[in-house]
Amino acid sequence: MKLLLDANILSRLCHPTYEKNLALSKWIEKVVSSRPSASVCVPEIADYEVRRGLLHVALRSGRSTTRSLLRLDLLSETLEYIPLNTQTMRRAAGLWAEARRSGQPTAVKEALDGDVILAAQALEVSGIVVTENTRHLGRFVAAYEWQEVPLE
């Protein structure tokens, strides 16, 4: 089972010592160490979304985000990294068009729409998305909040 981390989850893991993120960090450690059948994955689209946010904060505020960026790099190196490819992007384009046709878009028309790209990445590897946004992603792919992921 592949568990793909959405940007909201990945961002929280870049700040593992914040009290609200401790339980999530411990859960990830437990899954990685005790569930050989489960692979925790960093999708490239989630890495992009978190990385651009950290860089924007640094540029806008002058605050250093070096530690958070280093944690993101470490997560991308230690967990399975799922790069984007042409097949995934073409599938994402189809999901985007279908969501528009059905009147249920997940982002404004001009947006790149990371949700459909993440959903396409999950579909390509038969994965589950771990997210705080099950409403949008659940229309395309199995999506769970981290506390509710079925690991059995």
The 3-class SS string of 15-32 reads CCCCHHHHHHHHHHHHHH
Position 120: which residue type? A
pLDDT, tens digit, 9 for 90 and up, residues 28-77: 999 999 888 889 999 999 999 999 999 998 888 887 888 999 999 999 99
CA 137 to chain CA centroid, nearest Å: 11
What pTM was computed for the model? 0.92
Whether residue 104 is predicted with pLDDT greater than 90 in this model: the reply is no
Closest CA to 123 of 78, 75, 87, 69: 87
SS3 state of residue 128: strand
Q: Does 88 or 113 have the greater pLDDT score? A: 88
Name the residue ranges covered by the structural domains of the chain.
Answer: 2-148
% pLDDT > 70, the chain: 99
SS3 state of residue 104: coil
What architecture does CATH give domain 2-148? 3-Layer(aba) Sandwich (3.40)
Which pLDDT value is given to residue 69? 94
